[in-house]
Structure formats: structure tokens, C-alpha cells
Amino acid sequence: MSKQRMMPAINLALQEEMKRDNKVILYGEDAGISLLGQTTGLQDNFGRERVRDTPICENIMTGMAVGAAAAGYRPICHLLYGNFIYTGFDSIANQAAKLKYMTAGQVKLPIVYMAVIGGGRSAAAQHSDIPYPALMNLGGVKIVVPSNSRTAKGLLKSAIRDDNPVFYLTAAGGGRPEEVPDDDNYLIPIGKSEVINQGDDVTIISIGPMTLKAVQATKKLNEKGIGVDLIDLLSLVPIDEDTIISSLKKTGRVIIVDEARDTCSAASHISAILSDKAFKYLKSPIKRVTVKDIAIPYSPILESHVIPEVADIVNCIEKLLESN
């Protein structure tokens, strides 16, 4: 174990997996020098053949991943910010998510598309999006949303070893340093969530960048004598239905904390699953703490109004408990 921040933990996972399997290649804009720190030093260790700086050309980058994967490599396509998933969306939505199906399973597409997502940095509307709702709707791609450095390492390694296109989406900031296992086989299975706090009164399901805030909210609620089952979802496709349903059975109340815009958010989908499969255990309506259907504004005062804060989570739960 050693204490690490998010970006070094991601870097470690990349180093280990590139060492383990020489079919793993990585490319992206400024991948060599690394804008955000995930890929620092990879070019020195694995060379410019396997770690490539691309021009700015997201649509060919996302498409190239499909072709390279079909031809036997395990490409990692580094897209910087989540908003540039949109620039490369055609090859993601029309090719990566569908080629296997259309060709009756002829190809394996072991691809990792990585990007940072979410706001909170006054980066404004074109650098702050949460693009996973659109990706969830494709069906043909997996999506993981690690919340801290440990889960970042374990999930990236699993994503690289998975034989499907996997979106690997982390917060840009990265939070506090956490203990990260040194084990180079430390894997967190895709599709498995983690219960990171146990309690009987309410279930919080938190997604990716929101988990840090959900942890703080849980502490505040505990101090007020409210017991929280806090589930760090970790994977959006597939969703760990068993864990969230069994927590709901225990608490009877669920709130889902999601930085996506509300309409067709991950939260609304999870809410649909729960009401479908565990309706009779619900003591109150399932609540979503999400972003309204607006773009992310630049000014901090506006941005923090729009993006859920710890207090929004706490308030939501207090109201929920009061009303029953």
C-alpha cells in the first residue's frame, strides 16, 4: 500500500498494464507530456511507438481504436476532457458500440476510452460535462466511474483487460490521496459497486465525481444520528443491481447523487430499475440529486449553485425523512 492521488494511481495502472501486455497501446493529444498527469513518463518507458502524441482529431482517434482493436491491439484512446467524447462521438456511437453486434460477434473490441468529466473548476460549459448518460444509452459500451485513487487503479486495470469498449471516466480534480494497493494484479471487477458506509435509515447511491461529496454528507448525517448506507456505484454499465436493491430492502429510502443533467441521467435510470424491481420495499419516493437541465456556467457562484453540493445531499435526505 502507498498513499497516492488519483492521477498517479492511474499512471501506475497504465504502467503496469503496458508492461504486462505489449498489445496495450495508448495515444492522445499531448500524451507524452500529459496535460492532466495520467500518462506522464509512459513515452519514456514504452517508447513513441506504443505511446503516441496525436494531432487534434478526435473522430479519427475514436475510430482508429476500433480498427486497431479489431486487428489485435488493445488501444487506450485518451480524450482529455469528457466533452471531446462528443467531438469523437460518431465512431463511438456508430462503430465501437455496434460493430460486434452487426457482425454477429465476429470481432472483439478491447478498447479503453478515457477522459476526465464534470465541473467545479470554472471551466465553463464546454469543459465540464458529464457525458455518460448518452454513452449508457448506446448499449454496446461499458462505463466505469472510479471515485478515488484506489478504485481508479483497480478499475483501469480491469478496463484494459476487458474485451469490450470501456469508458473510463474520472473527476478532473482527483480528491485526497488514498491508500492504493501495490499489487500489480489489483483488479476491481467491472459491474460491482462498493458499500462504503453502512446504515439503516437511508441509502445514498453516488456516482463517480459525486462520491467525495456523498462521503462528506454521510459524515454530517451520521453526526445527526441518521444512518446511511452509502454505495459507491463505480460501474454504470453494467449496473450492480443486486447491491443497490439489497440496500433498498434494508433502508426503504434511496437518493441517487449524480452530476449529470437530470433528464435521462444515470440517476433517473437507476430510479427506474429500483421502482421496477423493489417497489414494495420503498417507504418514500426515490430522490435524485442531479444538475438541472442546463449547461455548466463559468462564474463560481453560479456553478456551485448548479452542481450538487454536500448541503444539497444532506437537505434532500432530511426532507425525505421529515416527510415520512
Ligand X SMILES: Cc1ncc(C[n+]2csc(CCOP(=O)(O)OP(=O)(O)O)c2C)c(N)n1
Instruction: Give the interface with ligand X as residue ranges (CB under 6 A).
Output: 29, 56, 58, 80, 84, 87
Binding residue for other proteins, selected from 34, 268, 275, 284, defined by CB under 8 A: 34
Q: Is 41 in the site for other proteins (CB under 8 A)?
A: yes
Binding residue for other proteins, selected from 139, 279, 293, 311, defined by CB under 8 A: 293
Q: Residues 291, 210: contact at Cβ < 8 Å?
A: no
Choose the one of ligand X, other proteins, none that binds residue 41, judging by a C-beta under 5 to 8 angstroms depending on kind.
Answer: other proteins
Q: Is 55 in the site for other proteins (CB under 8 A)?
A: yes
Binding mask 234-273 for other proteins (x = CB under 8 A): ----------------------------------------
What nine digits make up the cell of 259? 452530476
* Stretch of residues binding other proteins (CB under 8 A), selected from 35-43, 176-184, 186-194, 227-235: 35-43
Sequence-distant (≥ 6) Cβ neighbours of residue 131 within 8 angstroms:
82, 83, 85, 86, 115, 117, 169
Please name which of 276, 315, 295, 238 lies closest in space to residue 119, comparing C-alpha atoms: 295
What nine digits make up the cell of 68? 486497431
> What's the closest the beta carbon of residue 46 comes to other proteins, in angstroms?
16
At how many degrees (to 10) do helices 266-278 and 241-251 cross? 60
In the bound state with other proteins, the residue whose beta carbon lies nearer, of 81 and 132, is 81
Reduced to 3 states (helix: H, G, I; strand: E, B; else coil), residue 200 is coil
Q: Is 311 in the site for other proteins (CB under 8 A)?
A: no
Respond yes or no: is residue 269 known to be catalytic: no
User: Apex CA 312: angle with CA 150 and CA 270, to 5°?
Assistant: 65
Q: Could you give the CA distance from residue 314 to residue 219 in angstroms, rounded to a whole number? A: 10
> What's the closest the beta carbon of residue 314 comes to ligand X, in angstroms?
35
> What's the closest the beta carbon of residue 175 comes to other proteins, in angstroms?
16
Q: Residues 241, 202: contact at Cβ < 8 Å?
A: no
DSSP string computed for 82-130:
TTHHHHTHHIIIIIITTHHHHTTT------EEEEEE--SSS--TTS---
Q: What is the DSSP letter of 296?
A: P
Binding mask 106-135 for other proteins (x = CB under 8 A): ---------------xxxxxxx--------
Q: Which amino acid is at 246?
A: S
Task: Considering the candidates 78, 127, 269, 305, report the single residue annotated as catalytic.
Answer: 127
Binding residue for other proteins, selected from 2, 3, 22, 33, defined by CB under 8 A: 33
Q: Is 298 in the site for other proteins (CB under 8 A)?
A: yes
Element (H, E) at 26: strand 24-28
**Overall size of the chain counted in residues:** 324
Choose the one of other proteins, ligand X, none that binds residue 198, judging by a C-beta under 5 to 8 angstroms depending on kind.
Answer: none
In the bound state with ligand X, the residue whose beta carbon lies nearer, of 29 and 312, is 29
Choose the one of ligand X, other proteins, none that binds residue 107, judging by a C-beta under 5 to 8 angstroms depending on kind.
Answer: none
- Tell me the sheet residues that pair with 230: 197, 204
- Give catalytic residue positions: 127
- Where does this chain bind other proteins (CB under 8 A)? 29-30, 32-37, 40-41, 53-60, 83-84, 87, 121-127, 292-295, 297-302, 305-306
